[in-house]
Structure 1
Amino acid sequence: MAELRIGMAAADITPAIGTPLGGYLGRPRFEAMGIHDSLYAKVAALQGDGGPVLLYSLDLLGLTEERTARIAEQVAKACGVAAEDTVVACTHTHSGPSVVPLRGIPAVDEGYFDYLATRMTEAGRAALQELRPASLLVGSVQSATGVNRRAATDGAISLGENPEGPYDDQLLVLRFLEAESERTLGVIVSYGCHLTSLGASPLISAEWAGLAMAALERDLGCTCMFLNGPIGNVSPRGRDSTWARTGQIADAFRADCRRALSEAAPEAGLPLATAQQPVALPLAPLAPQAEVAATLAEAEATLAARGEEPSKRSARVQRDYALAAERCRREACQQERQAVTLTGVRIGPVAFLGMPGEVFAEYSLRLREEVPFRYSTVLSNVGAEVGYLPTRAAFEEGGYEPTSFVYFGVQGLDPTVEDVLFAGGRALANTLWNR
Structure 2
Amino acid sequence: MLNCHVGTFVADISPPLGHPLCGGGIEPVRGQDDPLEAVGIVLLGCGAPVVLCALDWCEIRNDAYLKWRQVLAEAAHTTIERVHVHAVHQHNAPIADIEAEKIIQINNASPSLDLKYFDQCLLKTAEALKACLAKTKKINRVGTGYGNVNKVASNRRILDSDGKVKYTRTSATKSKEIRDFPEGLIDPILRTLSFWMGEKPVVAIHYYATHPMSYYGDGMVSSDFCGLARRKRQADSPSVFQMYFTGCAGNITAGKYNDGSKENRAILRDRIYLGMTDAWKVTYTSPITKMEVRVEQVKLGKRNEKEFSLEENLKLVADSKETKVKRNIAALKLAWLQRREQTVNISCLDLGVASILNLPGEAFVEYQLAAQEMRPDLFVCVASYGDGGPGYIPTDKAFVEGGYEPTGAFAPPNEGLLISTISKLLGPKAPQITIPFKRFKKKNK
TM-score by length of 1: 0.82
Q: How does 1:245-264 map to 2 (within 5 A)?
A: 245-264=264-283
1:214 counterpart letter in structure 2: R
Q: Percent identity?
A: 26
Where in structure 1 are there 5+ consecutive unaligned residues? 305-311, 326-332, 406-411
Deviation, structure 1 residue 381: 1.4
Give the aligned partner of residue 307 of structure 1.
Answer: none
Q: Mark the CA change 1:90 to 1:77 in structure 2 (over 3 Å): closer, same or farther.
A: same
Q: How does 1:409-428 map to 2 (within 5 A)?
A: 412-415=410-413, 417-428=414-425
Q: 2:244 aligns to what SS in structure 1? A: strand
Give the aligned partner of residue 232 of structure 1.
Answer: 250
Deviation, structure 1 residue 386: 2.2
Q: 2:186 aligns to what SS in structure 1? A: coil
**Quick one: which of 100, 112, 115 aligns to 2:120?**
115
Q: 1:11 aligns to what SS in structure 2? A: strand
Q: How does 1:291-302 map to 2 (within 5 A)?
A: none
> Which deviates more, 67-76 or 186-195?
67-76
Looking at structure 1, the residues matched to 344 and 429 of structure 2 have their Cα atoms a distance apart, in angstroms, of 18
Deviation, structure 1 residue 126: 3.4
Q: How does 1:386-401 map to 2 (within 5 A)?
A: 386-401=390-405
Q: Mark the CA change 1:274 to 1:105 in structure 2 (over 3 Å): closer, same or farther.
A: farther
Aligned length: 399
> Which deviates more, 359-368 or 65-74?
65-74
Deviation, structure 1 residue 86: 1.7
2:323 counterpart letter in structure 1: R
Q: How does 1:345-424 map to 2 (within 5 A)?
A: 345-371=349-375, 373-405=377-409, 412-415=410-413, 417-424=414-421
2:127 counterpart letter in structure 1: E
Q: 2:60 aligns to what SS in structure 1? A: coil
Looking at structure 2, the residues matched to 395 and 53 of structure 1 have their Cα atoms a distance apart, in angstroms, of 36
Looking at structure 1, the residues matched to 116 and 273 of structure 2 have their Cα atoms a distance apart, in angstroms, of 34
Question: Is 2:17 the counterpart of 1:17?
Answer: yes
Deviation, structure 1 residue 48: 4.4
Q: 1:81 aligns to what SS in structure 2? A: coil
Looking at structure 2, the residues matched to 432 and 111 of structure 1 have their Cα atoms a distance apart, in angstroms, of 47
8 A Cα contact 1:13 1:39, kept in partner: yes
Give the aligned partner of residue 163 of structure 1.
Answer: 182
Deviation digits for residues 281-339 of structure 1 (CA, Å, limit 9, x no counterpart): 143313399xx99xx99xx9xx98xxxxxxx738x6289859x99xxxxxxx8999631
**Quick one: which of 201, 210, 223 aligns to 2:227?**
210
Deviation digits for residues 150-177 of structure 1 (CA, Å, limit 9, x no counterpart): 1236954332155352112221112333
Give the aligned partner of residue 144 of structure 2.
Answer: 138
Give the aligned partner of residue 199 of structure 1.
Answer: 216
Q: Mark the CA change 1:153 to 1:77 in structure 2 (over 3 Å): closer, same or farther.
A: same
Give the aligned partner of residue 67 of structure 1.
Answer: 64
Give the aligned partner of residue 79 of structure 1.
Answer: 76
Q: Mark the CA change 1:130 to 1:336 in structure 2 (over 3 Å): closer, same or farther.
A: closer
1:142 counterpart letter in structure 2: N
Deviation, structure 1 residue 94: 0.7
Q: Mark the CA change 1:98 to 1:369 in structure 2 (over 3 Å): closer, same or farther.
A: closer
Deviation, structure 1 residue 71: 2.6
Looking at structure 2, the residues matched to 318 and 397 of structure 1 have their Cα atoms a distance apart, in angstroms, of 27
Looking at structure 2, the residues matched to 432 and 342 of structure 1 have their Cα atoms a distance apart, in angstroms, of 19
Q: Mark the CA change 1:401 to 1:130 in structure 2 (over 3 Å): closer, same or farther.
A: same
Q: 2:226 aligns to what SS in structure 1? A: helix
Give the aligned partner of residue 3 of structure 2.
Answer: 3
2:22 counterpart letter in structure 1: G
Q: Mark the CA change 1:216 to 1:23 in structure 2 (over 3 Å): closer, same or farther.
A: farther
Deviation digits for residues 59-115 of structure 1 (CA, Å, limit 9, x no counterpart): 111212322222322222233222222211111111112424488863121012211
Deviation, structure 1 residue 268: 2.5
8 A Cα contact 1:22 1:105, kept in partner: no
1:47 counterpart letter in structure 2: L
Question: Is 2:42 the counterpart of 1:45?
Answer: yes
Deviation digits for residues 321-379 of structure 1 (CA, Å, limit 9, x no counterpart): 59x99xxxxxxx89996311112222342212111100101111112111365111332
Deviation digits for residues 136-191 of structure 1 (CA, Å, limit 9, x no counterpart): 32101222321111123695433215535211222111233333xx4432210011
Looking at structure 2, the residues matched to 177 and 269 of structure 1 have their Cα atoms a distance apart, in angstroms, of 9
Looking at structure 1, the residues matched to 249 and 14 of structure 2 have their Cα atoms a distance apart, in angstroms, of 23
Deviation digits for residues 14-44 of structure 1 (CA, Å, limit 9, x no counterpart): 121221111673x3xx321101001111111
Deviation, structure 1 residue 207: 1.1
Where in structure 2 are there 5+ consecutive unaligned residues? 170-178, 431-445
Looking at structure 2, the residues matched to 191 and 78 of structure 1 have their Cα atoms a distance apart, in angstroms, of 28
Looking at structure 2, the residues matched to 375 and 48 of structure 1 have their Cα atoms a distance apart, in angstroms, of 23
8 A Cα contact 1:55 1:88, kept in partner: yes
Looking at structure 1, the residues matched to 117 and 73 of structure 2 have their Cα atoms a distance apart, in angstroms, of 19
Looking at structure 1, the residues matched to 200 and 387 of structure 2 have their Cα atoms a distance apart, in angstroms, of 32
Q: Mark the CA change 1:122 to 1:264 in structure 2 (over 3 Å): closer, same or farther.
A: same
Q: How does 1:79-98 map to 2 (within 5 A)?
A: 79-98=76-95
8 A Cα contact 1:175 1:261, kept in partner: no
Looking at structure 2, the residues matched to 164 and 42 of structure 1 have their Cα atoms a distance apart, in angstroms, of 31
Deviation, structure 1 residue 2: 2.4
Give the aligned partner of residue 438 of structure 2.
Answer: none
Question: Is 2:31 the counterpart of 1:34?
Answer: yes
Looking at structure 1, the residues matched to 294 and 193 of structure 2 have their Cα atoms a distance apart, in angstroms, of 20
